[in-house]
Amino acid sequence: GFIGANFVHYWRRHHPDDGVVVLDALTYAGNRANLDGLTGVTFVHGDIRDTALVERLLADHGIDSIVHFAAESHVDRSIHGPAAFVDTNVIGTLSLLTAARAVWLAGSGRAHRFHHVSTDEVYGTLGPNDPAFSETTAYAPNSPYSASKAASDHLVRAWHHTYGLAVTTSNCSNNYGPFQFPEKLIPLFLINALHGRPLPIYGDGMQIRDWLHVEDHCRGIEACLRQGRVGETYNIGGGAELPNLA
């Protein structure tokens, strides 16, 4: 996927001695070519909901960190087909947590980290004069997508407090950058403009988003992994709030 592929490129550049295992179901927004040219990466075509597969990968490769990117993430798609979002984002996260607990807590007992990548959409919508979201903002998801991500955030938190799994969570703002699937605003507009097609914008285009370049997001995740406190949540924003029309 988009953010995960960028993270693998980032991690291999900055931590060349680390091996990386990529587990991806290659659904419509996944592209194996996003990892072309990389060494030290093992690619596994599989589903995060296959708990037995995840357990085997953790054990066989001696994995000590999971960075969980896998998600259905398009709000419009979630409105028309919410079940897939619950299936991947909630049941998929449960599967990864179950496997991590089995291997890391009941099995090897090794030092580990489960980092869960989430979204600022779990906090709901800001009014024009509202203060920015913080890590203590109450959850108020407004779409099936954001509700499914909120549920997965709560599962990750529960596995830390109930079972002692070493977790961190990051909630990011809107990403953009290389490899992004062209259903999203920026690549959709670029591709349509290049082909002389209409530029479809939702409503009046004045919805404000905070834009975050994907590599800055990857640096934020690295900071969570290396310096983050276990059990904590970290918001990662770009500091670039703009109306969609702008």
Catalytic residues: 120-121, 145
CA gap 28, 2 in Å, rounded: 11
The amino acid occupying position 184 is: K
* Six-digit token string for 68: 């969980």
Q: Which residues lie closer than 8 Å to 203 by C-beta, 6 or more apart?
A: none
Instruction: Please spell the DSSP secondary structure of the chain, one letter per residue.
Output: -HHHHHHHHHHHHH-TTS-EEEEE---TT--GGGGTT-SSEEEEE--TT-HHHHHHHHHHTT--EEEE------HHHHHH-HHHHIIIIIIHHHHHHHHHIIIIIIII----EEEEEEEGGGG----TTPPPP-TTPPP---SHHHHHHHHHHHHHHHHHHHH---EEEEEE-EEESTT--TTSHHHHHHHHHHTT-----STTS--EEEEEEHHHHHHHHHHHHHHPPTT-EEEE--S-EEES--
